[in-house]
């Protein structure tokens, strides 16, 4: 029998009625001849509630016990989904991560998947089970403790199972009907994409698009797992949603696939830093040790042997970054005259595999922003993306202008 993986997010299983609706979708795929592996998240809001209980109980909590508590939400959903399928006369069984077993490393609260043996579930399929309902987001460490994969980890679980079992496809059911050229709440002209390449989706996910977790897209690209993102609240045919696939599977696409944005950014500049070998390591080493996620980096070198070093970071990590830089300065590792912080910026990016073979994308982007009177503070580029840092108050205007400039409301 061919295998299909179906993942249901928290909003898709938020109530018993929604679990029944999801179960009917699973039942239809069983009727179509598939053995189905269903990956479920916790019911909407449940993980936040469990995290809150942990933090209230123990502010400096033991990560192993944190995992034991927060993983329970998915187990509840898995059991309820299996019971619902059984009531529909669909042979189903729930599986906690440790029962599969989904083997991870020992990094509690942010574990990485190491192996998913297929024997246990395949044996049950051979014995007549048609649906394995697996609790997402969790696994088991080499020490035999429950681990969790980090927020959004159920997407990663689903893709990993699709890869391990050679599934025909991995369907991600969520509260949106696919992947759009940008957030429809920013511009009504946003268009749902029929297909998008892995690389484009990975860039969009890392730049702020929240439909898929970044790690899940990385995994799908590595193992060529065809992903389909679709709504659990609409009736879907076989062409519904958005297919995330290899570039070779897309006949023709726009030069730019989408516009992504990240609202909560900050810009930090170290003024008058000595321009010497190793200075970048002296700055960014302490930031990494402080778990500061540095993104865009610009270095301006002057004639007197001094340099200004500018970088962007999430606005909620400013305190950690300030502390790390103050300690580095006190130790003598880094000398600078002033630390300047701008906590009111946003990052806007255009992404598209067509940029590899089309010149002038940067020129179009910068002209569109100029015409709207938007000043660019920092620019970074890669093979298939261009990102700029701008004043936050202009973010929505920039997204709308770029969406219009590249004609993203029209298919290629």
> What's the pLDDT band for 208 if we cut at 50, 70, 90?
low
Angle in degrees, 0-180, between the axes of helices 63-70 and 72-87, rounded to the nearest 10: 20
Per-residue pLDDT, 302: 67
Per-residue pLDDT, 117: 97
Per-residue pLDDT, 307: 87
Higher pLDDT, 149 or 251: 149
152-169 pLDDT, tens digit each: 899 999 999 999 999 999
Contact 34, 53 (CB under 8 A): no
Per the annotation, where are the binding residues for ATP? Answer: 7-10, 174-175, 180, 185, 210-211
List Cα–Cα distances, 318 to 261, 288, 291, 300, 308, in angstroms: 19, 13, 11, 22, 18
Phi, psi of 290 (to 5 degrees): -90, 5
> Coil, helix or strand for 291?
coil
364-393 pLDDT, tens digit each: 999 999 999 999 999 999 889 999 999 999
CA 158 – CA 24 distance, rounded (Å)? 19
**How many other C-beta atoms lie within 10 A of the C-beta of residue 393?**
11
Domains and CATH numbers, the chain: 3-175 (3.40.1160.10), 259-405 (3.30.2130.10)
Locus of tokens 């898709």: 12
CA 389 – CA 295 distance, rounded (Å)? 11
Whether 237 shows a pLDDT value over 90: the answer reads: no
* Mean pLDDT rounded to a whole number for the chain: 93
Quick one: which of 34, 65, 213 has its CA closest to 131? 34
Per the annotation, where are the binding residues? Answer: 7-10, 47, 74, 174-175, 180, 185, 210-211
CA 42 – CA 46 distance, rounded (Å)? 6
> What's the pLDDT band for 107 if we cut at 50, 70, 90?
very high
Contact 189, 403 (CB under 8 A): yes
- Taking the mean position of all CA atoms in its chain, how far away is CA 312? 19
Whether 327 shows a pLDDT value over 70: the answer reads: yes
CA 114 – CA 401 distance, rounded (Å)? 44
Whole-number CA gyration radius for the chain = 23
Locus of tokens 């697996």: 134
Quick one: which of 34, 36, 41 has its CA closest to 18? 41
Quick one: which of 203, 211, 227, 236 has its CA closest to 9? 211
Per the annotation, where are the binding residues for substrate? Answer: 47, 74
Exposure b/e, 179-203, CB count within 10 A at least 16 = b: bbbbbeebbeebbebebbbbbbbbb
> What's the pLDDT band for 314 if we cut at 50, 70, 90?
very high
Per-residue pLDDT, 78: 98
CA 380 – CA 297 distance, rounded (Å)? 8
């Amino acid at each position: 029998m061919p295998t299909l993986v179906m993942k249901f997010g928290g909003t898709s299983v938020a109530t018993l009625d929604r679990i029944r609706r999801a179960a009917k979708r699973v039942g239809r795929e069983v009727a179509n001849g598939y053995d189905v592996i269903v990956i479920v998240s916790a019911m909407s809001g449940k993980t936040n509630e469990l995290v809150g209980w942990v933090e209230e109980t123990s502010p400096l909590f033991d990560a192993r016990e944190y995992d034991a508590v927060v993983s329970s939400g998915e187990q509840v959903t898995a059991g309820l989904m299996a019971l619902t399928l059984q009531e529909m006369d669909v042979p189903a069984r729930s599986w906690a991560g440790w029962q599969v077993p989904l083997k991870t490393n020992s990094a509690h609260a942010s574990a990485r998947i190491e192996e998913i043996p297929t024997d246990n579930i395949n044996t049950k399929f051979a014995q007549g089970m048609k649906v394995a309902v697996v609790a997402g987001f969790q696994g088991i460490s080499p020490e035999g403790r429950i681990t969790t994969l980090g927020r959004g980890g159920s997407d990663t679980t689903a893709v990993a199972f699709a890869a391990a079992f050679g599934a025909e496809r991995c369907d991600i059911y969520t509260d949106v009907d696919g992947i759009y050229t940008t957030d429809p709440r920013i511009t009504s002209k946003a268009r749902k994409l029929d297909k998008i390449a892995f690389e484009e989706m990975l860039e969009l996910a890392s730049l702020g698009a929240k439909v898929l977790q970044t790690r899940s897209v990385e995994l799908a690209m590595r193992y060529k797992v065809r992903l389909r993102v679709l709504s659990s609240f609409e009736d879907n045919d076989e062409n519904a949603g958005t297919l995330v696939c290899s570039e070779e599977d897309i006949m023709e696409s726009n030069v730019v696939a989408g516009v992504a944005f990240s609202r909560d950014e900050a810009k930090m500049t170290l003024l008058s830093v000595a321009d010497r070998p190793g200075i970048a390591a002296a700055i960014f080493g302490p930031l990494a040790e402080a778990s500061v996620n540095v993104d865009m980096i610009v270095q301006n070198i002057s004639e007197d042997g001094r340099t200004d070093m500018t970088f962007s970071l999430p606005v909620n990590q400013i305190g950690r970054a300030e502390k790390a830089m103050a300690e580095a300065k006190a130790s003598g590792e880094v000398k600078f005259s002033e630390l300047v912080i701008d906590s009111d910026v946003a990052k806007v990016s255009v992404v598209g595999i067509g940029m590899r073979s089309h010149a002038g994308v940067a020129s179009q982007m910068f002209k569109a922003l100029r015409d709207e009177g938007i000043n660019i503070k920092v620019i970074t580029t890669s093979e298939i993306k261009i990102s700029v840092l701008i004043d936050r108050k202009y973010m929505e205007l920039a997204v709308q202008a770029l969406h219009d400039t590249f004609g993203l409301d029209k298919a290629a």
